[in-house]
């Protein structure tokens, strides 16, 4: 019983510390305030979509498992869409991960990338 009390006390202490740590944080703007021009510009990729597309395709070409696959890649505003059919779920997940790791990719949609 003593161990259970210690664990409970430790958990409560950790919870209080984490909640207390958040209370002092200052946010740069209210959650519902519209974004400023600078904030919107910071969200846009610095590279063009063509450069991101080339980087994703280059990453795929360097991987022997993925280079053999027929994956169509499109990019719009830094968001990558992958489509086609690949040999396995492992290859699908690897392609999605590789695309996410390309700098300035804001998101990857692989819903249209099917595994056999």
CB 111 within 8 A of CB 74: no
Q: Can you tell me the distance from the alpha carbon of 73 to that of 54, in angstroms, rounded to the nearest whole number?
A: 10
End-to-end CA distance of the chain: 53
5-30 confidence digits (pLDDT tens): 666 666 655 655 665 555 555 555 55
Average pLDDT for residues 24-52, to the nearest whole number?
A: 69
pLDDT value for 63? 93
54-86 confidence digits (pLDDT tens): 999 999 999 998 987 889 999 999 999 999 999
Q: Model-level pTM? A: 0.61
pLDDT value for 29? 53
pLDDT value for 47? 77
């Amino acid at each position: 019983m003593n161990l259970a009390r210690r664990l409970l006390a430790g958990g409560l202490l950790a919870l209080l510390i984490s909640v207390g740590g958040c209370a002092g944080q200052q946010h740069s703007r209210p959650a519902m305030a519209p974004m400023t021009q600078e904030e919107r510009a910071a969200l846009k990729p610095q590279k063009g979509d063509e450069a991101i597309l080339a980087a994703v395709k280059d990453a795929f070409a360097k991987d022997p498992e993925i280079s053999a696959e027929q994956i169509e890649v499109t990019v719009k505003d830094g968001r990558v869409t992958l489509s086609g059919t690949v040999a396995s779920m492992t290859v699908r997940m690897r392609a999605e991960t590789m695309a996410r790791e390309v700098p300035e990719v804001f998101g990857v949609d692989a819903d249209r990338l099917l595994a056999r």
